[in-house]
Chain A
Amino acid sequence: MAIKPRVPVREQPAEERIHNFNSVPYGYSEEEAIAEAQRCIQCPNPTCEAGCPVNIKIKDMIRLIKEGKFAESYLLTKQDNAFPACTGRVCPQEDQCEGVCILVKTGQPINIGKLEAFVADWGREHNVTEETVSASKEKKVAVVGSGPAGLACAAELRKFGYQVTMFETLHKPGGVLVYGIPNFRLPKEIVQHEIDYLEEIGVDIQLNMTVGQNISFDELRENYDAIFLGTGAGAPQFMGIEGEKLNGVYSANEFLIRANLMKSYLFPEWDTPISVGKKVGVVGAGNVAMDAARTALRLGADEVYIIYRRTMEFSPARNEEIEHAREEGIIFKELVNPVRFVGNDQGWVTGVELIKMELSEQDSSGRPRPVPVEGSEFIMELDTVIEALGTVPNRLFLSRAPGLKTDRKGVILADDNRMTSIEGVFGGGDATSGAATVIKALGEGKRAAESIRDYLEGK
């Protein structure tokens, strides 16, 4: 039997969406979702589920959609993943479930991401809820950080019945889902709804609370039976080259925090300004670089460049993000690397000196190593520079938690059960793995919750 092609995802046309921050994909309708679900051959041994870091029962999720049982599909998905509307939108499905779908051979794997987002949206729009908390237990767990790892851990611990208090430094919960990923990729009301669910099941979320400043790590250890550290990798890395002090040079973190958390795109109705010139260069080519580039475009830049030292086939970004960026007119400047930023006498950046690169033998990342071509430097004029070079764990918390073992970069060391070097203190997400993906953090948060349960029950 011939397999039909994927049901296409309707999207805002590129020429329209570059003027707004609304979601790019519209999401499947019920009919489209059923048609896409019908393509699934319901493998006896579903490889997609093994490819999922939180082991969603994908096969049954899809079967229930096919049967039109959307509420059941939603509740089933929610059992394994409290944040399906988020992960359906931001997971790198091509490297996970969809990448190992049996249909990948045809070039048309099931669109599992969009089906997951569909059931999540359907459940939210139809107010589907179910009591999931077990009998209440007395033991208390502190969760530090309200990003993906902390959220997943808190949701799971609460389902086990523990008393969970979550501490967040910022004035809004959600971590990178709120401050980092733009609205056009992950609408904030969707994130808020999935966080509201945590509050509904009884997680106490304490905002504006920095562990190490408002409450000490030792106080947490005294007052809670276990601690989960989901402190993330929120600190930006800079290139460390000349000209980084110039005005108009941003870290991607700052640029995105202004745009997303502080809603600079609504300035002056919202108070936080953001400075975007006509020509913007984004250094780096990962998901964050794509987010920053597409945000700059929406904020009114005429030309936005991705400045990348390799070629785009080696970019760590999701295919969908690269494709969307390309459709929107982002220009990929490959095989170049900044040497220094140049500025005018008022101290504003006016350009970047780039050096051409060529690809050499494979490096430790399995990608070809970019090598500079001597004497190939040239100046590219720019009004705004955004450095998207990846992030590292925030040293603010680490400096206040002596005794916690980390590696050189400040990544907290955790064992197979996600326990850190301090007994009863667990960790997950980017704090323990360096910068990775939302879904990996959710998976680790969830697994840590299971280890915390075993620890608290003396197993």
Chain B
Amino acid sequence: MSHKITRKMDLNSDDFYVEVEAPLVAERFRAGNFTILMTVPHGERIPMSIMKAEDGKISMFIKKLGKTSRELYKELDTFENVIGPMGKPIDIKNYGTVVVASDLVCGHAENYAICKALKEAGNKVISYQTFPTEKEIYPEEVLANDVCDEFHLTTEDGSKGEEGHYIDLLEERLENGEKVDIVFAGGSLPNLKELGEMTKEYNIPTIVTVRQIMVDASGMCGACRVFVDGEMQLACIDGPMFDAHKIDWGAALRRPKMYAEMEKVALEHCKELGRCE
């Protein structure tokens, strides 16, 4: 049941783009959904955001982090399993003015998908994509500039585009009294927490992707439990997007680090086999 990779390209020195044949996922994908990947038969089940779904294929942005992503980058031209769509899509409707923001690999993929869906639903869509410096900026063809009404490319050091992180730039905007009806954001979890703290002051609903470790991703294991408004929710079936103002961020920030040491072991093993760099 192998899935053919139809395109792979570098986005910057750390991140790469993958397009893969996955007709079942592509057919039913809606913004907010994710996919579960298994690169090889003995692989992990890994949740991954989807940038776009077209012609029976899905596109994703992947960071070269551990064993799975590095082996995928270097060695593989197929996936063993591409499963989904998983999770709940966002409520796609006309909110008015929507900000979609991201600062990390999966968040950038979600940014594109959400902008596209919400623009089609008649919203005024403002997209912010933040990169650390000019060097990390993705090629223009995969940015959300074509699928939104107002695009802000920002770098934290100001080497290209607007200077600053999207949180600060959005705050300036709100301070100026500009109207924003809702914010959708994805990427770095600590930054999403900070974003939530900021937008709460302005009383702007803020829906963010809470990326957690998953196993079955169908509600069976509880690995991705997130506490929202005091209630246990599962990111795989109740999420992955939740109200940033109600998340217990302490646990959400901690749980993804549970296997940090073992991930190093897996990467070393893969390097020994010559399948990773």
Chain A residues near B (Cβ < 8 Å): 169-171, 179, 207-210, 213-214, 234-236, 238, 240, 244-245, 247-248, 251, 253-254, 257-258, 261-263, 266-273, 275, 346-347, 394-396
Partner of A254, one of B67, B86, B223, B227: B223
A243 to B224 CA separation, bound complex (whole angstroms): 15
Q: How far is the CA of A170 from the CA of B83 in the complex (A)?
A: 9
Give the chain B neighbours of A244 by CB distance below 8 A: 225, 232
A214→B24 CA distance, assembly (Å) = 7
Query: Across the two chains, which residue of chain A brings its CB closest to B38?
Result: A171
- Cα A332 to Cα B158 with chains together (Å): 62
Answer yes or no: B96 CB below 8 A from chain A CBs.
no
B220 A245 Cβ-Cβ under 8 A: no
* The residue from A179, A240, A254, A270 contacting B42, defined by CB atoms under 8 A apart: A270
Asked whether, in the complex, the Cβ of B218 is within 8 Å of the Cβ of A247, the reply is no
With contacts A234-B219, A257-B216 taken as known, whether A267 is within 8 angstroms of B248 at the C-beta atoms is no
Given A235-B219, A271-B44: 18 more A-B contacts, CB < 8 Å = A169-B216, A170-B218, A171-B38, A171-B80, A213-B85, A214-B24, A236-B220, A236-B221, A245-B251, A262-B44, A268-B270, A271-B42, A273-B259, A273-B263, A275-B258, A346-B254, A394-B218, A396-B237
Q: Does B265 contact A (CB under 8 A)?
A: yes
Contact residues, B235-258 vs A (CB, 8 A) = 237, 248, 250-251, 254-255, 257-258
CB pairs A–B below 8 angstroms (20 shown): A171-B80, A171-B81, A179-B216, A208-B81, A210-B86, A214-B28, A235-B219, A235-B220, A244-B225, A245-B227, A247-B254, A251-B221, A253-B222, A254-B222, A257-B216, A271-B44, A347-B254, A394-B219, A395-B219, A395-B237
4 A-B pairs with the lowest CB-CB distances in the bound complex, closest first: A245-B251, A254-B221, A273-B262, A268-B269
Interface 1/0s, chain B 19-42, versus A by CB < 8 A? Answer: 000001000100000000010101
Kindly list chain A residues whose C-beta atoms are within 8 Å of the C-beta of B232: 238, 240, 244
Query: Are B1 and A208 within 8 A (Cβ)?
Result: yes
Inter-subunit contact B219/A257 (CB<8 Å): no
B257 to chain A, nearest CB (A): 7
Q: Distance (Å) between the CB of B200 and the closest chain A CB?
A: 21
Q: Is B215 a contact partner of A247 (Cβ separation < 8 A)?
A: no
Nearest CB of chain B from residue A9's CB, rounded to whole Å: 33
Shortest A299–chain B CB gap in Å is 12
Closest to A263 in B: B42
Cβ–Cβ < 8 Å partners of B251 in chain A:
245, 347
Interface string of B72-114 (1 = CB under 8 A from A): 0000000011011110000000000000000000000000000
User: Interface majority SS on A: helix, strand, loop or mixed?
Assistant: loop
Query: CB of B121 within 8 A of chain A?
Result: no
Q: What is the distance, in angstroms, from B54's C-beta to the closest C-beta of chain A?
A: 18
A171 to chain B: which residues have CB within 8 Å? 38, 45, 80-81, 83
CB of B266 within 8 A of chain A? yes
Given A169-B218, A395-B219, check contact A267 B266 (CB 8 Å): yes
A254 CA / B222 CA spacing, docked (Å): 7
Main secondary structure of the interface of B (DSSP, over half): mixed
What chain B residues lie within 8 Å of A267 (beta carbons)? 262, 265-266
Find out whether the CB atom of A275 lies under 8 angstroms from the CB atom of B259: yes
Contact yes or no, B220 A394, CB < 8 A: yes
Total CB contacts across the A-B interface at under 8 A:
117
User: Closest CB of chain B to A109's CB: distance in Å?
Assistant: 36
Contacting residues of chain B (43-91) with chain A, CB-CB under 8 angstroms: 43-45, 67-68, 80-81, 83-86
B214: min CB distance to chain A, Å: 10
A271 CB contacts on chain B under 8 angstroms:
40, 42-44, 67-68, 266
Q: Is the CB of B221 within 8 A of A253?
A: yes
B259 in contact with A251 (CB, 8 Å): no
Shortest beta-carbon distance from B216 to chain A in Å = 6
A269 CA / B40 CA spacing, docked (Å):
11
A170 to B250, CA, bound (A): 31
Taken together as a complex, chains A and B put the C-alpha atoms of A209 and B248 apart, in Å, by 32
Contact call A245/B28, Cβ cutoff below 8 A: no
Compute how far the CA of A149 lies from the CA of B215 in the bound complex, rounded to whole angstroms: 23
**Closest A-chain residue to B25, C-beta based?**
A214
Contact A245–B219 (Cβ < 8 Å): no
Do A251 and B222 form a contact, CB below 8 Å, given A268-B269, A272-B44? yes
Q: In the complex, are the beta carbons of B254 and A213 less than 8 A apart?
A: no
Partner of A253, one of B83, B220, B254: B220
Question: Closest B-chain residue to A387, C-beta based?
Answer: B222
CA–CA, A420 to B12, complex, Å? Answer: 54
Contacts of A179 in B (CB 8 A): 216, 220
Chain A hits for B269, CB < 8 A: 268-269
- A179 and B38 CA atoms in complex are apart in Å by 16
In the complex formed, the residue of B with least CB distance to A391 is: B220
Question: Which residues of chain B are within 8 angstroms of A258 by Cβ–Cβ distance?
Answer: 215, 221
CA distance A207 to B251 in the complex (A): 33
Q: Are B254 and A234 in contact (CB under 8 A)?
A: no
User: For residues 186 through 216 of chain B, which have their beta carbon under 8 Å from a beta carbon of chain A?
Assistant: 215-216
B49 → A minimal CB distance (Å): 16
The residue in A208, A209, A248, A395 that gathers the most chain B C-beta atoms within 10 A of its C-beta is: A208
Q: Judge whether B42 and A234 touch: CB under 8 Å.
A: no
Chain A residues whose CB sits within 8 angstroms of the CB of B215 once the complex forms: 254, 257-258, 262, 272
Chain B contacts of A254 at CB under 8 A?
215, 221-223
- Give chain A residues whose Cβ lies under 8 Å from the Cβ of B81: 171, 208
Q: How far is the CA of A238 from the CA of B223 in the complex (A)?
A: 12
A208 to chain B: which residues have CB within 8 Å? Answer: 1, 24, 81, 83
Complexed CA–CA distance, A328 and B154 (Å): 60
Q: With A213-B84, A214-B28, A396-B237 as given contacts, are A269 and B42 in contact (CB-CB < 8 Å)?
A: yes
